[in-house]
Structure 1
C-alpha cells in the first residue's frame, strides 16, 4: 500500500500557465466541483463539455509544457508538467507528454479525473484489481480492454473501478500530449505502480517535471 500522503495547503493557487482560457476553465471547474461534491460521476459528466471546449482552443498551451522530460519520474522521457494547482490541492491540471512508442507504467490515480488528448494518438490499456490487497507488495490485475484514443477524445477516471491503466504513444514522429484534470495533487501523492505479469505492486510518486517537492528542494540545497 502507498505511504499516507499528508499535503499541507498551499499559500495560494499556483498558475504555471496563466491565460484567459485556463482562468475561465478553472473558474467553471471550481464551481462544478463544489456543487457536485457528493457525486463525482456528476462532476465528470457536467465538467466534460467545458473541458472539451478547452481542448479545441488553439495556442493556450505554451511550448515548454509540450516537451518530453529526460529526468521523468515516470521514466522513458515522459514529461508531467503542472499547469495549475489549487490552494487546497483539490484541483490540478497537468499535461502528460509521452514520446513516440513510449509507454507509462501501469498506475492508478486515487482520484476522479478527466483525461483529454490534446495532440497525437494513444493506446490506453485499462485494468481492474481483483485481489483484496491483503498481501503487502502483491496485486492481481485483469485487463478490462485496450482502446485507441485520438486528438479530442476524453475519458473518465473514477476509483475504484476505472482508475488503473497504462498509456502508450502511437504517434511516429511527435509526442502524444494529454491534459489531465484531477481532483487531487496527483504528482505529489504516493500511489501505485503495478507489475501485472509479476502480480506485484509498489508505491511511487510521479512528481511534476517543473516543480520540486519540498523534500527534494531540501536535499538539493544540501548538496549544491
Structure 2
C-alpha cells in the first residue's frame, strides 16, 4: 500500500500563524515526547472549529483517499502541522509514527481504533485496546512506542483534522514509521 501524498504548504491565515507560534514555544521547551505532545494538543484545542483557521485550499479533499495538506514545517525540522481532509469512508492503514503527534478535530469526527502489539507464538499480532470517537474540538496526544492505530471517517460528511508531528513531514514524506500487516482484531 502506498501512503497518501503530502501536499505542499501554501497561503496561511493569521490564526494559523498564531497557532504555529504557540506550538514553537512549547516544542522549544525541550521536554520529552509524551509531555510535548500533550502540551501541543492543549495549544491546538482553542483554535479548532474557528472559521478563520484554514484557507479554502487547505480544506480540499481527494475523492480517492484522505488528503494531507502540510500547512507548516518548522525550518529546524522540529515539527510540522498537517491538515487531513477525510471524505466518508476514507481511512488510514494500521500504523504508528516516526515522532510524537498531537491531533485535533476541526470539523466532523474521526473514528480511531488503537492497538497493542502482543506476542503470538513465534510471531506477533495486534490486539485492539480501545475504540475512540474524536469529535470536533477534541484533541489527542500520541508518543511512540505504543501509538499504533487506524483512523477513519465513519460519518456522512467531510472531516477535517489538524495533526502536529514532532518531525519535518516535508523532508520525510510521511509521518508513518511502520504499516502493520499482522493479524489484527477487527
TM-score range, shorter chain: 0.7 to 0.9
Shift of 1:139: 5.2
Q: 1:168 is matched with which residue?
A: 152
Structure 1 range deviating more: 43-52 or 104-113: 43-52
CA distance in 2, matches of 1:79, 1:169: 12
Higher strand share: 2
Q: Aligned match of 1:79 in 59, 67, 74?
A: 67
Instruction: Give yes or no for contact 1:17–1:61 (8 Å, CA) kept in 2.
Output: no
Residues 172-221 of structure 1 deviation map (CA, whole Å, 9 limit, x = unaligned): 1x22111101101346156211124379xxxxxxxxxxxxxxxxxxxxxx
CA distance in 1, matches of 2:31, 2:74: 19
Matches within 5 A, 1:118-137: 118-131=106-119
Q: 1:185 to 1:139 in 2, by over 3 A?
A: farther
Q: 1:11 is matched with which residue?
A: none
Point out where structure 2 has 5 or more consecutive residues left out of the alignment.
Answer: 1-7
Structure 1 stretches of 4+ with a deviation exceeding 4 A read none
Q: Is residue 100 from structure 1 mapped to residue 88 from structure 2 by the alignment?
A: yes
Point out where structure 1 has 5 or more consecutive residues left out of the alignment.
Answer: 1-13, 71-75, 200-224
Q: 1:73 is matched with which residue?
A: none
| Larger RCO, structures 1/2 (Cα 8 Å, 6+ apart) | 2
Residues 8-64 of structure 1 deviation map (CA, whole Å, 9 limit, x = unaligned): xxxxxx8534222111111121121111x2322222333333211111422221122
Q: 2:97 is matched with which residue?
A: 109
Shift of 1:120: 0.8
Q: 1:5 is matched with which residue?
A: none
Q: 2:144 is matched with which residue?
A: 159
Q: How many residues align?
A: 174
RMSD of aligned residue pairs (Cα, Å): 2.5
Q: Which has the larger radius of gyration?
A: 1
Shift of 1:93: 0.4
Q: 1:96 to 1:49 in 2, by over 3 A?
A: same
Q: Is residue 59 from structure 1 mapped to residue 52 from structure 2 by the alignment?
A: yes
CA distance in 1, matches of 2:182, 2:133: 21
- Give the TM-score, by structure 1 length: 0.69
Shift of 1:158: 0.7
CA distance in 2, matches of 1:78, 1:66: 11
- Give the TM-score, by structure 2 length: 0.82
Q: Secondary structure at the match of 1:103?
A: coil
Q: 2:181 is matched with which residue?
A: 195
